Amino acid sequence: MIRTLLTGITVLFLTLTSANNQLHAQQRHPGAWGDQLNGTYKNPIINADYSDPDVIRVGGSFYMVCSDFHFMGMPVLQSADLVNWRIIGQVYNRLDLDPKYNTMEKYGAGSWAPSLRYHNGKFYVYFCTPDEGLYMSSAANPTGKWSPLTEVKRTGGWEDPCPFWDTDGQAYLGHSRLGAGPIIIHKMSADGKHLLDSGKTVYEGPVAEGTKIYKRNGYYYIIIPEGGVGTGYETALRSKSIYGPYERKIVLEQGKTNINGPHQGGIVELDNGEAWFIHFQDAGAIGRVCHLEPVKWQNDWPFIGIDNDGNGIGEPVSTYPKPKVNKFPVKTGLQTSDQFNKTTLGLQWQWNHNPVNDKWSLKTHKGYLTLTAMQASNNKYARNTINQKLMGRNGMITTALNADQMTPGQKAGLCLLGNYIHEIGLIKTDTGLNVYADNNGKFQQGITIGQKTVFLRLVINLDHITVMQYSLDGKIFTQLGEACTLSNYNYWKAVRPGLFSYNTKQPGGTALFDWFNYLRDGPDGGL
């Protein structure tokens, strides 16, 4: 049964690969999620780990950021319709807040729950790290260079900040504390770089976090998730004063749906009066995926989703008409595949902790991503493992690895990173070059090869099995190692596909990756 499935998928992959350019240019059939190409969308709109999303509208475009914890390169996304998104920039590419971001000791730390705002011609991103403090970056152009991080407050134990500039020009910042709650409001300098007081607690609730502040029709609103990531709900607080007292209303719950949570996100309004809410759902190994919900304002309260059970509280929608926007958006998926033909990395790539920039290159061997190995006992502690978000529940990832410059003790290849680590690759020994698989510590050595290039593949099906394969000709692939069981708990993040090169004996050796091809379900995915 498994062999039949894998053979079928391999044949499908080869067929699709032969027409890859046409598929990328002409992909127009509805996927398992996202834009259905008939005026509707199917949740999730982004079936990938864009956790703790925040969204704003500037003119006719929408922008979004998300948590990325210990991964470097917080992405900035843009959309014309809130359904189809592209990565257009990165807020930062390293965190020089603590030496442990260099030594692979900050798993689960880093950027937590950012907020994105636009004020006086600038975009602002605020986030907290659990140990170091509150940070801000700004940019006039979100696709350009963002300012170096400003340390607004050095403090541990804060989370989920949100800035707010009132109509009189006064700036504020709201946040919660590690462990969720209470909600605290500070006055802030107009430039957003300094807090002006010690803050005032304005609300305490059951696991209250994810602060998002808005003002509408004379009311201040704080939109927060409560009750915990997997089992909670969305709450709206409102008051005529930013310091309260606040009225409270639950505005979105799981109800009879299968959308657990639903958790933390942001509200955005259109010129035509429509309002929408993007939030996440914890979906296990794929991480926390993004859903889009309609919002109706009723008696100055936001009503989110659809009330399926008649109790007055909205529930998440499954399929729904798309937002009515004035321009026709490009229907294309988020970036994944890469030919490594440019001198800069694609915006989909992120480093696992701070990179060592003289140990990787797109220039030393034109057309290849070059990863020079540093010494590490295993992939968890390997510097310069490059990775990106897992996309959809079904996928096929293939890469071509040139091992001509590998040295003894070096391992290089394709991996899935998380609490468990799965590797398919090559290991160089004193006697030769071998294919190997390492399935969360279960090592299996394969054949010795006498050629310098090998093809590596991951066949991912989160509802069935995930396997690792290799090929000597790029056509016939052989499974190596057991099927993978992907962890649902991954330092607050999802399992991620990546490319690695490290040496267990001594520093040295170079891996050359020719290309990275990612076929997956969903928009523009090729499956």
Question: pLDDT tens across 61-113, in order?
Answer: 999 999 999 999 899 999 999 999 999 999 999 999 999 999 999 999 999 99
Q: Would the pLDDT of 15 be above 60?
A: no
* Residues paired with 448 in a beta bridge: 434
- The pTM (predicted TM-score) of the whole model is 0.93
Q: Give per-residue pLDDT as tens, 209-258.
A: 999 999 999 999 999 999 999 899 999 999 999 999 999 999 999 999 99
- Among residues 438, 407, 414, which one has the least CA distance to residue 503? 407
Please list the residues that pair with 49 across neighbouring strands: none
CB atoms within 10 A of CB 30: 15
pLDDT higher than 80, residue 317: yes
User: What distance in Å separates the CA atoms of residue 6 and residue 395, rounded to the nearest whole number?
Assistant: 12
How far apart CA 402 and CA 123 sit, in angstroms, is 42
| Residue 52 annotated as catalytic | yes
Residue from 49, 52, 160, 253 carrying the catalytic annotation = 52
Q: Is residue 315 among the annotated active site residues?
A: no
Q: Which of the pair, 31 or 184, is modelled with greater confidence?
A: 184
In terms of C-beta distances under 8 Å and separation of at least 24 residues, what long-range contacts does 360-365 make, across chains too? 360/384, 360/386, 365/512
- Point out the catalytic residue in the list 49, 132, 209, 338: 209
pLDDT at site 25: 37
pLDDT in tens, 400-448: 999 999 999 999 999 999 999 999 999 999 999 999 999 999 999 999 9
Q: What is the pLDDT of residues 136-151, one digit of tens each?
A: 999 999 998 999 999 9
pLDDT recorded at residue 329? 61
Mean pLDDT of the chain: 93
Give the rounded percent of residues in the chain with a pLDDT score beyond 70.
93
Average pLDDT on 164-169 reads 96
Instruction: Check residues 232 and 22 and name the one with the higher pLDDT.
Output: 232
pLDDT band at 330 (very low <50, low <70, confident <90, very high): low
Pairing assessment for the beta strands 247-252 and 263-269 based on DSSP bridges: unpaired
